[in-house]
Chain A
Amino acid sequence: MEYLLELTGLTAGYAGKPIIHDVSFRLEKGTITTFVGGNGAGKSTLMRAIYGSCDHLGGGIIFDGGQIEDKTPWERYELGIGFVPQGRCNFPDMTVSENLKMGCYTLPRNEHRDRIDAMLESFPMLSRKIKEKAGNLSGGEQQVLETAMVLLSEPSLLLLDEPSLGLAPKTQGEVFDFVKRIAADGVTVLVVEQNVHGALLISDKAIVLEMGRKFLEGTAEEVRNNPNIRHAYLGGNLSEEEVSE
Chain B
Amino acid sequence: MDYIYFLQLTANGLVIGLIYALIAVGLALLFGVLGIVNFAHGELLLIGAYAMALALPAFGLAYMPGAIVAVLTAIIAGWFIYEIFLSKLGHGEFERSILITMGLSIVILNGIQYIFTATPLLVNTEFGYAGVNIGDIRVAWTRIAAAVLSAVTFAALYVLLNYTQIGRAMRAVSQNRDAALMVGMQPRKIGRNAVILAASLCGLAGAAVAPVQLVQPYLGQFLVFKAFAIIIIGGMGSIEGAVFAAIALGIIESWIGGFFPVVWQEAAGFLIMITVLLLKPSGLFSRGGVRVG
List A residues at the B interface (Cβ < 8 Å): 51, 53, 72-74, 77-78, 82-85, 88-94, 98, 101-103, 105-106, 135, 146, 149-150, 153
Q: Are A90 and B165 in contact (CB under 8 A)?
A: no
User: Number of contacts between A and B (CB, 8 Å)?
Assistant: 73
- Chain A residues in 8 Å Cβ range of B178: 53, 85, 89
Give the residues in chain A near B182, CB-CB below 8 Å. 82-85, 89, 146, 149-150
| Given A78-B184, A105-B185, A153-B184, A89-B179 contact (CB < 8 Å) | yes
Besides A98-B168, A102-B185, 14 other A-B contacts (C-beta < 8 A): A53-B178, A53-B181, A74-B186, A82-B182, A83-B182, A91-B171, A92-B175, A92-B291, A101-B165, A102-B169, A103-B183, A149-B179, A149-B182, A150-B183
Give the docked Cα–Cα distance between A90 and B176 (Å).
7
Smallest CB gap from A101: residue in B: B168
Tell me if B172 is interfacial: C-beta within 8 Å of chain A: yes
Question: In the complex, what residue of chain A is closest to B190 when comparing beta carbons?
Answer: A105
B residues with CB within 8 A of A:
165, 168-169, 171-172, 175-176, 178-186, 287-288, 290-291
Which residues of B sit under 8 angstroms from A77, Cβ to Cβ? 183-184
26 A-B residue pairs with Cβ-Cβ distance under 8 Å, sorted by A, are A53-B178, A72-B186, A77-B183, A78-B184, A85-B182, A89-B176, A89-B178, A91-B172, A91-B175, A92-B176, A92-B287, A93-B175, A98-B168, A101-B165, A101-B168, A102-B168, A102-B169, A105-B165, A105-B184, A105-B185, A106-B183, A135-B288, A146-B179, A149-B179, A149-B182, A149-B183
Main DSSP-derived SS at the B contact region: helix
Cβ 8 A contact of A102, one of B183, B290, B291:
B183
Q: A92-B290, A93-B291 are known contacts. Are A74 and B175 too (CB-CB below 8 A)?
A: no
Residues of the B chain whose Cβ atoms lie less than 8 Å from the Cβ of A53: 178, 181
Contacts of B176 in A (CB 8 A): 88-92
From A88, which residue of chain B is reached at the shortest CB distance?
Answer: B290
Q: Are B181 and A102 in contact (CB under 8 A)?
A: no
Given contacts A92-B290, A92-B291, A93-B291, contact A74 B172 (CB under 8 A): no
Whole-angstrom CA separation of A77 from B180 in the bound complex: 12
Of B175, B183, B290, which contacts A105 at CB under 8 A?
B183
B183 contacts which chain A residues (CB < 8 A)? Answer: 77, 102-103, 105-106, 149-150, 153
The 9 A-B pairs of least Cβ separation, nearest first, read A77-B184, A106-B184, A92-B290, A91-B175, A89-B179, A74-B186, A73-B181, A74-B184, A91-B172
Give, as a whole number of angstroms, the nearest-CB distance from A172 to chain B.
Answer: 22
Please give, as numbers and ranges, the residues of chain B lying within 8 Å of A84 by CB-CB distance.
182
- Are B290 and A94 in touch, CB under 8 angstroms? no
CA gap between A106 and B185 in the complex, in Å: 7
Cβ–Cβ < 8 Å partners of B287 in chain A = 92-93
Chain B residues with CB under 8 A of A149: 179, 182-183
Q: In whole angstroms, what is the CA distance A135 to B287 when docked?
A: 11
Cα A74 to Cα B171 in complex, Å, equals 18
Give Cα A149 to B178, complex, Å.
13
Closest chain B residue to A112, Cβ basis? B165
Q: Contacts of A94 on B, CB cut-off 8 Å? A: 168, 171-172, 175
CB distance from A166 to the nearest CB of B (A): 14
- Which residues does chain B contribute within 8 Å of A89, judged by CB atoms? 176, 178-179, 182
CA separation between A82 and B182, bound complex, in Å?
7
State A101–B183 Cα separation when bound (angstroms).
10
B186 to chain A, nearest CB (A): 5
Q: Determine which of A51, A74, A88, A146 lies in contact with B185 in the assembled complex, contact meaning CB atoms within 8 Å.
A: A74
Shortest distance between the CB of A148 and any CB in chain B (Å): 11
| Chain B residues within 8 Å of A90, by CB | 176, 179
Q: What residues of B have a CB within 8 angstroms of the CB of A72 in the complex? A: 186
Query: Which chain A residue has the least Cβ–Cβ distance from B287?
Result: A93
Q: Would you call B186 and A93 a contact (CB within 8 A)? A: no
Chain B residues in 8 Å Cβ range of A93: 171, 175, 287, 291
Determine the chain B residues whose CB is within 8 A of the CB of A135 once the complex forms: 288, 290
What's the minimum C-beta distance from B8 to chain A, rounded to whole angstroms? 38
Taking the closest CB of chain A, its distance from the CB of B262, in whole angstroms, is 40
- A92 nearest CB neighbor, chain B only: B290
CB distance from A75 to the nearest CB of B (A): 9
B175: nearest chain-A partner, CB-CB = A91
Closest Cβ neighbor of A93 among chain B residues? B175
Q: In the complex, which residues of chain A have a beta carbon less than 8 angstroms from the beta carbon of B172? A: 91, 94, 102
* C-alpha gap A236/B129 in the complex (Å): 86
State how many angstroms separate the Cβ of A1 from the closest Cβ of chain B: 29
Complex Cα gap A72–B188 (Å): 12
Q: How far is the CA of A42 from the CA of B291 in the complex (A)?
A: 26
CB distance from A52 to the nearest CB of B (A): 9
CB distance from A25 to the nearest CB of B (A): 23
